[in-house]
Chains A and B, each alone.
Chain A
Amino acid sequence: EAQVTQNPRYLITVTGKKLTVTCSQNMNHEYMSWYRQDPGLGLRQIYYSMNVEVTDKGDVPEGYKVSRKEKRNFPLILESPSPNQTSLYFCASRGVGGSGNTIYFGEGSWLTVV
């Protein structure tokens, strides 16, 4: 079954404590991306990656880091989380160049920073 898997699904953390949200996909997709969803603001892209070792900023990258060392994994790193990063986060993936342009989303990770 085609899947994008995120962990943890729910997390409450404190300001300044580094955390990582993992993302893995089993579809051999080159493109992976992170979004945050906030009420009234919709889905905003944080970072994306077109392939291994290739990453680029989206619309709201401040306060986040990513890495793409393997094709299937694309972790999101919050080095020093702040309350304004409290949000619902989605990882997504798709193929490139004729292999299907449908974006598949994970089920989301609820993050609360206190």
Chain B
Amino acid sequence: QQQVKQSPQSLIVQKGGISIINCAYENTAFDYFPWYQQFPGKGPALLIAIRPDVSEKKEGRFTISFNKSAKQFSLHIMDSQPGDSATYFCAASPGGGYSTLTFGKGTMLLVSP
């Protein structure tokens, strides 16, 4: 049973465009929703995270939008750059992030110059 569904599997965006990756979850006990960024040959690294008491969190060009009633959250990358080309994983966890993270299957993003 996949508890966090991520789409699309892959995404090609032109430089300067907006990249959007979506995730949906089922477990209502989840209360911590991070996004991880992974470059080729590297381990995933935390990009941005949100808790369900807010509907949006922005850090630079990266924004998480959160819809608690729909049990969905998404990552928006504004003004996408070739350096943003990476695999992005959404994840969810109960216990404020101090319990096991369940990851989505990942999205390979390619930003074309």
Tell me, in angstroms, the Cα distance from A102 to B85 when the chains sit together. 22
Grouping DSSP codes into helix (H, G, I), strand (E, B) and loop, the B interface class, with mixed when no group exceeds half, is: loop
Quote the shortest CB–CB distance from B54 to chain A (angstroms): 16
- Is A66's beta carbon under 8 Å from chain B? no
Chain A contacts for B66, CB-based, 8 A: none
Bound Cα distance A102, B46 (Å):
7
B104: chain A residues at CB < 8 Å are 42
Binary CB contact string for chain B from 77 to 109 against chain A (1 if under 8 A, 0 otherwise): 000000000000100010011101101111000
Please give the number of chain B residues whose Cβ is less than 8 angstroms from any Cβ of chain A in the complex: 20
Residues of A contacting B61 with CB < 8 Å? none
Other than the given A58-B100, A90-B44, A105-B45, 16 more pairs (CB < 8 A) read A42-B6, A42-B104, A42-B105, A42-B106, A43-B89, A43-B103, A45-B100, A92-B43, A96-B98, A101-B93, A101-B97, A101-B98, A107-B42, A107-B43, A108-B42, A108-B43
Which residues of B are in contact with A by a Cβ distance under 8 Å?
6, 9, 32, 41-46, 89, 93, 96-98, 100-101, 103-106
